[in-house]
Chains A and B, each alone.
Chain A
Amino acid sequence: MDAGAAAGPTEAFLKEFASQHDRLFAYLFSLLPHRPDAEDVFQRTSLVLWQKFDQWEPGSDFLAWACSVAFYEARNFIRVASRDRLRFGEALLESLAKERAASLRRRDDRVAALQECLKKLDHAERELLQRAYVDQESIRELARRDGQAAQTLYNRLNLIRKRLLLCVDLRSAARGEPA
C-alpha cells in the first residue's frame, strides 16, 4: 500500500486528483470548446470521480481512469445540451479524446518551456497577458478603457500566443521532443 492509500481514501483521492487536476481540465477543454461547458463538466466529473473512487485501483493510472470518466461525462453533457451549443460530432469527439489523453503526458514539459519563453516578451506584451490572464479583465473592457477596438487587442493577444507557441515548439524540438 502506498503512502497515499495509507493516509486514507479521502487523502488518497485528493492527492491523485490534485496532481492531475490541470491535465484533466485540459482534456475536457479539448472536447468542449465552450469554456463554461468544460468547467461545468469538470465539476461534475470531480464529483463522479470522488463517488467512484473505490473503483480505482491504487497504483494504476489515475489520469487514464479520470479521463475515461470525464469522457463519458462530456458525452452525456453534449447529448443533453441544447442544439445551439457548440459541440463536436461524435466521431471527432472520440478521436480528440483518444489522442488528447495520450498527449497529456508531455504537457508539463511544454508548460515549463513556456515559462522560459515568457521571459522573451517585452513589457507591453507581458502587461497585456497580465491583464487578460492574471487580472482576468475582459478584453472588451480593456479595449474600451484604452480607447482601442476590441479586435485590436484580440489580434495582439493572438499574435503573442502564436509567438509563444513557436518558441515552445523550438525549445521542445531542441530537447528532442515532438512538436
Chain B
Amino acid sequence: MNRSEQHPELLELAAAVCNGTITPEQHERLQQLLAADPEARQLYFDYLDLHLALGQTHQTAQEAQPMMQFQKALAAPVRRGTRGLLAAAAGILFCALIYYFVTRPTPSIPIATLVQSASARFYGAGESLRVGSALATLQEYALKAGRVEVRFRNGVTAIVEGPAVFEVRDEMRLHVTYGKCSVNVVPGAEGFAVETPLTESSTAERALRSTSTKRARPRSRWCRARPKSRPLRRRRRC
C-alpha cells in the first residue's frame, strides 16, 4: 500500500487547500491529521509542492503544441538558482490601475508582449527578451535598468522602470515585487489589478492596506503610483 492510499483523507484535505475550497471544519480536521503524524506532514508538503510546481512545469509537457510557443519560457525545468532578478529596490512600489475593454482575446495571442524597450537590461530569464517577445506568465523578470512597455492582450499597457522585479500573473494581474510601474488606463477598462507588497505606504497603498490587490475602476488616463522612498541603510559594501 503506498502512502497515498494510507492517507486518503489527508489527500482530500490537501486537495481542498490547493483548490482554495477548504472549509473551517476541514481545516480543523487537517490540523488534527497533521499534528498526529510526521508522515502525514511530509505527504502534505509533497502534495503542496506538486500543486505549486504544476504552475511552473506543466508547460514542458505542452511545449510541442504550436499554440503554446509563447509560453516556452515557462517550460524551463526547475527554476534552480538561475532565474534572474534584479532590481535595486529602494522602494517597492506600487502602481495602480486599470483598465480594459472587453474584446475577448484569442488564444493564439500571448497574454503579455514586450512592445517597447528603452535601454532595458534584464537579468536572468528576461535576457532573451526582445521587442515583440511574449512574456511568460508566472515567470519573474528582473529588470536591472531602463524601461519596458508590456502590452497585455486585453489592451492594458504597463511601463515598468528598472530596477524592478515583476511577473505577469495572468491576463488581469501584473505582480510587481520591486520597482516602479505605471499602467495605461483605457476607456471601458475594468478589473485589471496590479499586485504589490503590502508593506509600502505610498498614498495609493494606504488605501489598499486591507488587500494586496488593487482592482481599480476603469479610467481613461495614465496613472502612476508613487513609491515610498525607503532609505537603504545598512547596505553592505564590498
Binding site for B on A (CB under 8 A): 1, 5-6, 8-12, 14-15, 17-19, 21-22, 25-26, 29-30, 33-36, 39-40, 43-44, 46-47, 50-54, 84, 86, 88-89, 91-92, 95-96, 99-100, 103, 107-108, 110-112, 114-115, 118-119, 121, 126, 129-130, 133-136, 139, 154, 157-158, 161-162, 164-166, 168-169, 179
CB atoms of A161 and B15 under 8 A apart:
yes
CB atoms of B56 and A22 under 8 A apart:
yes
Q: Give Cα A44–Cα B222 distance, bound, in whole angstroms.
A: 28
Interface string of B209-238 (1 = CB under 8 A from A): 000100000000000000000100011111
**Beta-carbon nearest neighbor of B163 in chain A:** A10
CB atoms of A110 and B46 under 8 A apart:
yes
**Beta-carbon nearest neighbor of A19 in chain B:** B81
Q: Give Cα A164–Cα B35 distance, bound, in whole angstroms.
A: 25
List B19-42 residues whose CB lies under 8 Å from chain A.
Answer: 19-22, 24, 27, 30-31, 34-35, 38, 41-42
CB atoms of B22 and A96 under 8 A apart:
no
CB atoms of B84 and A18 under 8 A apart:
yes
Question: How near does chain B come to A119, taking the closest CB pair, in angstroms?
Answer: 6
Given contacts A9-B238, A54-B234, A164-B54, 5 further A-B contacts (CB under 8 A): A18-B83, A107-B49, A110-B50, A126-B62, A169-B3
Contacts of B236 in A (CB 8 A): 5, 9, 12, 53-54
Question: How near does chain B come to A149, taking the closest CB pair, in angstroms?
Answer: 13
Question: How near does chain B come to A141, taking the closest CB pair, in angstroms?
Answer: 12
The 8 Å CB contact of B57, one of A6, A84, A96, A115, is A115
Contacts of A86 in B (CB 8 A): 22, 24, 27
CB atoms of B212 and A158 under 8 A apart:
no
Binding site for A on B (CB under 8 A): 2-4, 11-12, 15, 17-22, 24, 27, 30-31, 34-35, 38, 41-42, 44-62, 68, 71, 74, 77-89, 92, 123-124, 137-138, 140, 142, 163, 165, 169-170, 177, 196-199, 212, 230, 234-238
Contacts of B82 in A (CB 8 A): 19
CB atoms of A165 and B62 under 8 A apart:
no
Q: Give Cα A111–Cα B53 distance, bound, in whole angstroms.
A: 6
CB atoms of A92 and B20 under 8 A apart:
no
Q: Give Cα A112–Cα B53 distance, bound, in whole angstroms.
A: 9
Q: Give Cα A161–Cα B205 distance, bound, in whole angstroms.
A: 37
Q: Give Cα A119–Cα B182 distance, bound, in whole angstroms.
A: 40
Q: Give Cα A176–Cα B186 distance, bound, in whole angstroms.
A: 56
**Beta-carbon nearest neighbor of A53 in chain B:** B236
**Beta-carbon nearest neighbor of A96 in chain B:** B41
Contacts of B49 in A (CB 8 A): 26, 107, 110-111
CB atoms of A22 and B52 under 8 A apart:
yes
30 A-B pairs, CB-CB below 8 angstroms?
A10-B86, A14-B85, A14-B86, A14-B123, A14-B165, A18-B142, A19-B81, A22-B52, A26-B45, A29-B52, A33-B27, A43-B196, A46-B197, A47-B92, A54-B234, A84-B24, A88-B31, A99-B38, A99-B42, A103-B45, A110-B50, A111-B53, A114-B54, A114-B57, A118-B60, A126-B58, A134-B74, A139-B19, A161-B51, A165-B4
Question: How near does chain A come to B7, taking the closest CB pair, in angstroms?
Answer: 11
Contacts of A112 in B (CB 8 A): 77-78
Question: How near does chain A come to B170, taking the closest CB pair, in angstroms?
Answer: 5
A44-B197 contact given A11-B86, A35-B20, CB 8 Å threshold? yes
